[in-house]
């Protein structure tokens, strides 16, 4: 698996981890049962933020392809239009 795919997967999964952490924290603060679950939820929030920040910076650092270069690559890789009359 390439680094860019891993970073994209991280950017998709990290917000769900943050939501789960927030739900755990809110539930345990409202019910007042366990402090350890509050700490685990806070740790999940921090981990999601840190991992997504690193993934974003890695993806941002990659050089962007110009539009002309992308069109040139597409025209070289394909033999023609997908739907010919």
Percent of the chain whose predicted confidence (pLDDT) is above 90 = 20
Is 8 contained in some domain?
yes
Dist. CA 48–CA 11, nearest whole Å: 9
Is 72 contained in some domain?
yes
Range of the domain at 71: 3-76
Is 81 contained in some domain?
no
Residue whose C-alpha is closest to residue 17's, from 51, 55, 62? 51
Is 51 contained in some domain?
yes
Minimum mean pLDDT range among 10-19, 25-34, 60-69: 60-69
Is 61 contained in some domain?
yes
pLDDT exceeds 80 at position 43: yes
Give the total number of structural domains in the chain.
1
Q: pLDDT digit string (tens) for 48-68?
A: 999 999 988 888 876 677 777
């Amino acid at each position: 698996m390439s680094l860019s795919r891993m970073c994209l997967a991280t950017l998709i999964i990290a917000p769900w981890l943050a939501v789960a952490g927030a739900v755990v924290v809110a539930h345990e603060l409202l019910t007042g049962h366990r402090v350890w679950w509050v700490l685990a939820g806070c740790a999940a929030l921090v981990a999601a933020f840190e991992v997504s920040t690193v993934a974003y910076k890695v993806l941002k650092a990659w050089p962007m392809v110009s539009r002309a270069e992308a069109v040139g690559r597409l025209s070289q890789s394909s033999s023609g239009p997908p739907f010919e009359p």
